[in-house]
């Protein structure tokens, strides 16, 4: 059990990669705080986590709302007394070509994917600085490294996360807090399930390992970054993409 007794706070944890990370952390002994806007599935995920014999709380929280994030973090601290691991996982896509992309499509993706990471990191890092320990893991994407046609908004938000990760890592490293990013490639979740079949086939053709990634492929990297095995690693990006970018 790599995370025995630790408290992890995961945004967008009700489904997909965030849920898989929560289940993986719970199986490794961590207690969980899950935040999401998807009210219908949040309770179900929390029940599944509790079935793993750890303590779990779920909160409705939109990462865009700084005040709400503050309230939820306070509730988590009232309940658990500390936060050892923050996983900034909540993210959305609103794809379009640049010339057709509306201002709202651009702004809304930046607000959730990038500003949301700023909001939660700002609040939780204060607690970790007091604790003099912590792990922050930000969910980026390979498109934040190499770009992607049709995803100017999304790739800008994910590239922004990489800059934020490295800057925060420099600011709070002396407090024994590591800050790293994971850049997944093509992972099979509800986010990618909706893509047209030909787009999925095109992506798959660029994966040397010849299969889409699973949420558990990403969760394993997130477990490593939360565990003692990564204690001297900070400001880094772990690419989990079956070799798409190399």
Ligand X SMILES: NC(=O)c1ccc[n+]([C@@H]2O[C@H](COP(=O)([O-])OP(=O)(O)OC[C@H]3O[C@@H](n4cnc5c(N)ncnc54)[C@H](O)[C@@H]3O)[C@@H](O)[C@H]2O)c1
3-state secondary structure of 237: strand
38 vs 173 by CB, closer to ligand X? 38
Candidates 58, 134, 160, 184; binder of ligand X (CB under 6 A) is 184
232 is catalytic: no
The verdict on 73 binding ligand X (CB under 6 A) reads no
Q: Tell the smallest beta-carbon distance from residue 233 to ligand X (Å).
A: 20
Q: Tell the smallest beta-carbon distance from residue 171 to ligand X (Å).
A: 22
Catalytic residue among 25, 59, 154, 186: 154
81 vs 107 by CB, closer to ligand X? 107
The verdict on 134 binding ligand X (CB under 6 A) reads no
The verdict on 217 binding ligand X (CB under 6 A) reads no
How many whole angstroms separate alpha carbon 182 and alpha carbon 37? 22
Q: Scan for tokens 């990760």, then name that residue.
A: 165
Q: Which two tokens stand for residue 183?
A: 């850049």
Compute the Cα dihedral for 80, 85, 86, 91 and give only its sign: negative
Per-residue mark of binding to ligand X, 11-50 (x: CB under 6 A): xx-xxxxx-----------------xxx------------
| Residues whose CB is less than 8 angstroms from the CB of residue 47 and which lie 6 or more positions away in sequence, other chains included | none
Compute the Cα dihedral for 153, 180, 46, 82 and give only its sign: negative
* Sheet containing 177-184, strands listed edge to edge, beginning at the edge strand earlier in sequence: 56-60, 31-36, 7-11, 85-88, 134-139, 177-184, 237-240
The verdict on 86 binding ligand X (CB under 6 A) reads no
Q: Tell the smallest beta-carbon distance from residue 91 to ligand X (Å).
A: 2
| Residues whose CB is less than 8 angstroms from the CB of residue 46 and which lie 6 or more positions away in sequence, other chains included | 32, 34, 56, 57, 58
The count of residues interacting with ligand X (CB under 6 A) is: 28
Q: Which stretch binds ligand X (CB under 6 A): 8-16, 26-34, 48-56, 165-173?
A: 8-16
What phi and psi values does residue 125 have, to the nearest 5 degrees? -65, -30
Please give the residue ranges that form the binding site for ligand X (CB under 6 A): 11-12, 14-18, 36-38, 61-64, 89-92, 112, 139, 141, 184, 186-187, 189-192
Catalytic residue IDs = 154
């Amino acid at each position: 059990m790599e995370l025995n007794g630790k408290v992890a706070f995961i945004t967008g944890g009700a489904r997909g990669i965030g849920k898989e990370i929560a289940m993986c952390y719970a199986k490794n002994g961590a207690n969980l705080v899950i935040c999401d806007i998807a009210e219908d599935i949040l309770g179900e995920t929390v029940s599944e986590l509790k079935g793993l014999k750890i303590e779990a709380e779920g909160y409705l929280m939109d990462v865009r709302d700084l005040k709400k994030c503050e309230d939820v973090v306070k509730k988590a601290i009232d309940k658990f007394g500390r936060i050892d691991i923050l996983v900034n996982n909540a993210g959305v896509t609103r794809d379009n070509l640049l010339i057709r992309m509306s201002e709202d499509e651009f702004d809304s993706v930046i607000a959730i994917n990038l500003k949301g990471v700023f909001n939660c990191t700002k609040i939780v890092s204060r607690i970790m600085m007091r604790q003099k320990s912590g792990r922050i893991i930000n969910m980026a994407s390979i498109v934040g490294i190499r770009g992607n046609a049709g995803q100017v908004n999304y790739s800008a938000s994910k590239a922004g996360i990489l800059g934020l990760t490295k800057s925060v890592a420099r600011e709070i490293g002396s407090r024994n807090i590591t800050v790293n990013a994971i850049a997944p490639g093509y992972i099979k979740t509800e986010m990618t399930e909706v893509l047209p079949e030909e787009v999925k086939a095109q992506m798959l053709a660029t994966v040397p390992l010849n299969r889409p990634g699973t949420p558990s492929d990403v969760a394993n990297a997130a477990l490593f970054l939360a565990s003692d095995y990564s204690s001297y690693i900070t400001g880094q990006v772990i690419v989990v993409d079956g070799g798409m970018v190399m």
